[in-house]
Amino acid sequence: MGIRFFAGRNYTPDFESYCPYGGIQAFASFLVNKSLACSMTSVQIAMGGILIIAVILFSKLFCSFICPVGTISEWLGALGDKMRIRQTITGVNDKIFRMAKYALLFITIYFSVTTSELFCKWFCPYFAVASGFNSDVNVIMGASAIVIVVLGSVFVRLLWCKYLCPFSALSNIFRYFPIFAGLVIIYAVIRAAGVELSFIWLAAAICILAGVMEIISLKTFPGPLFRIIRNPDLCTSCKKCSVACPQAIDVFSNRSVDHIDCHLCADCMHVCLEKGALGINKKGKKWLPAAALVILIVTGLAAGKTFELPTINQYWAEAGTKQQMKVFSRPGLNSIKCYGSSVAFANQMYNMDGVYGVATFVGRKTAKIWYDPTVIDTVKILKYIFTPARIQIRELKPETVNLKVFDLRVDNFLDPTDTETLAQLLSMNADVYGFLSEFDCPVRIKVFADAGSSVDETTLTRLVEQKNIEHSKDNTMPAIPNNKFKVTRIVREPDPVDSSEFSRLINN
């Protein structure tokens, strides 16, 4: 993301694009509310599923190989070790502090599900830094989390990861997968019996039980399919494995490492001097976790391209009538950007006679609309969605008396966002002063330009159909990387209009 950001001004890094934890939360919100958290896509959900598979089969590979906060924590911890000021919390205090991350996880789940927004963005130290404290970040919470990570990692071994990170708690829950699955089945049976039981009770039960299991045993149950195995017959008791473990697990004292903190990073295997003394399932394949992670990530990215869950899916007529309706699918609705704009679009369509449901797909900028063909047709739906506009791009020059008028038909022009894009494109020519838009198929646009200028049909067509416009150096012109406008017809009207008529048309 960093390389692409500095390589081209058009690229805007999306720090949520591949977050597996956000995908898991978003899918939970979808199951409960039938809606996705804002900006969540199928890729994140697929990556969330891959994370669960990785935890069950291998371990917390995301924590050991990918997590940027964990990486920074280990680097700062190494600094603390050199200064001889870093401590490892053990005993009762260690177990008590571990419950904090489950409490934070429950709070995160509660607000994410009840608001259809990812609450973790309020305080996530990585997202706060990577996004430059954008509007999704609570400044006080984000800054506090960063201070805790930076200072805490120097003085306490992996303070954030072990005791505060809600995503570490979420991963640990799937290390107790039979318990998680059992509670989900019990909850489903209760709901099937007709008892209205909030999802929050299930979330609370899972967090509490997983936290109790962790502090009681500090072991996984039943444990991942792959784990570190020590062969005592080959071990020389050098204990380098225990020293190298970033989690301070006493690898040397275990025949089979099933500690809840083991992430299968294989650092212990890399420092072991005796071939075969340490292995993964008795085999010395130290490259296995990293290779498995690469395969899982590629699988998740591929799977995420095969489906897309709707951001919202609302149907307000009787359920039995849905099969009788026709479905109109309309791509290219750039105003559908997230959960909030999807709800606004659905509310708009709710007021239209003959329309009985809406599903939006943010990733594809597409809306599916259920309608009664005996009441309304697709042309009327498009007209209802369309918002006509009168846009003056710049003030008239004092010497400009008359303006020539061009009548354009523009395809792929659908919503208010397209009006803004067209204004940006036309503003690149200093002799174009404004335009009017009205519904037609394709949309009809009237463009006004200085009568004494060289602007003609070819000039306007090139302006409107420009591709891959980059940010201007002074940031006054935003990027337009995927302009899909197509001029299907353009005619210059025979009679110009004077400046007063132009003002009347624009301001009417």
Q: What is the pLDDT of residues 338-387, one digit of tens each?
A: 888 899 999 999 999 999 999 998 878 899 999 999 999 999 999 999 99
* The predicted structure's pLDDT at residue 320: 87
pLDDT of residue 473 exceeding 60: no
pLDDT of residue 210 exceeding 90: yes
How far is the C-alpha of 139 from the C-alpha of 133, rounded, in Å? Answer: 7
Mean predicted confidence (pLDDT) in 72-80 = 96
* Higher-confidence position of 481 and 86: 86
pLDDT of residue 175 exceeding 80: yes
CATH number of this structure's domain 389-507, picked from the four choices 2.30.30, 3.30.70, 1.10.3470, 3.30.310:
3.30.70
pLDDT of residue 16 exceeding 90: no
Model confidence at 9, pLDDT cuts 50, 70, 90, reads low
- Angle, CA of 4, 6 and 10, to the nearest 5°: 70
How do residues 218-231 score in pLDDT, each as one tens digit? 999 887 889 999 99
Residue extents of the structural domains in the chain: 2-217, 312-385, 389-507
Q: Answer whether 364's CB lies under 8 Å from 332's CB.
A: no
Number of continuous H segments (helices) and E segments (strands) in the chain: 20, 12
* The predicted structure's pLDDT at residue 440: 92
Longest dimension (CA), the chain: 98
**How much is the mean pLDDT over the chain?**
90
Mean predicted confidence (pLDDT) in 311-333 = 91
How far is the C-alpha of 430 from the C-alpha of 393, rounded, in Å? Answer: 9
* The predicted structure's pLDDT at residue 476: 59
* The predicted structure's pLDDT at residue 3: 73
Mean predicted confidence (pLDDT) in 80-84 = 95
* The predicted structure's pLDDT at residue 423: 93
pLDDT of residue 472 exceeding 60: no
How far is the C-alpha of 338 from the C-alpha of 344, rounded, in Å? Answer: 10
* The predicted structure's pLDDT at residue 13: 66
Instruction: Give the single-character DSSP code of 292.
Output: H
Residues with Cβ within 8 Å of 144's Cβ and at least 6 positions away in sequence, in order, are 123
Q: Answer whether 197's CB lies under 8 Å from 187's CB.
A: yes
* The predicted structure's pLDDT at residue 341: 87
* The predicted structure's pLDDT at residue 254: 93
pLDDT of residue 39 exceeding 70: no
Q: Answer whether 357's CB lies under 8 Å from 322's CB.
A: yes
Model confidence at 204, pLDDT cuts 50, 70, 90, reads very high
pLDDT of residue 496 exceeding 80: yes
* Higher-confidence position of 424 and 5: 424
CATH number of this structure's domain 312-385, picked from the four choices 3.40.1390.10, 3.40.50.2300, 2.40.10.220, 3.30.70.100:
3.30.70.100
How do residues 404-452 score in pLDDT, each as one tens digit? 999 999 999 988 889 999 999 999 999 999 999 999 999 999 999 999 9
How far is the C-alpha of 387 from the C-alpha of 425, rounded, in Å? Answer: 19
Helix, strand or coil, per DSSP, at residue 437: strand
* The predicted structure's pLDDT at residue 187: 95
Taking alpha carbons only, the member of 162, 165, 155, 89 closest to residue 120 is 165
Mean predicted confidence (pLDDT) in 193-207 = 94
* The predicted structure's pLDDT at residue 414: 84
Looking at residue 375, its amino acid is V
pLDDT > 70: what percent of the chain? 95
* The predicted structure's pLDDT at residue 12: 67
* The predicted structure's pLDDT at residue 256: 94
* The predicted structure's pLDDT at residue 118: 83
* Higher-confidence position of 36 and 108: 108
Taking alpha carbons only, the member of 242, 248, 309 closest to residue 277 is 242
Model confidence at 46, pLDDT cuts 50, 70, 90, reads very high
How do residues 109-153 score in pLDDT, each as one tens digit? 999 888 878 889 899 999 899 888 988 899 999 999 999 999 999
Mean predicted confidence (pLDDT) in 28-39 = 76
Q: Is 477 left (phi over 0), alpha (psi -120 to 50) or beta?
A: beta
* The predicted structure's pLDDT at residue 85: 97
Name the least confident of 15-24, 53-62, 106-115, 286-295: 15-24
Name the least confident of 18-32, 134-148, 232-246, 289-303: 18-32
Tell me if domain 312-385 and domain 389-507 are identical in fold. Answer: yes
How far is the C-alpha of 328 from the C-alpha of 334, rounded, in Å? Answer: 17
* The predicted structure's pLDDT at residue 483: 85
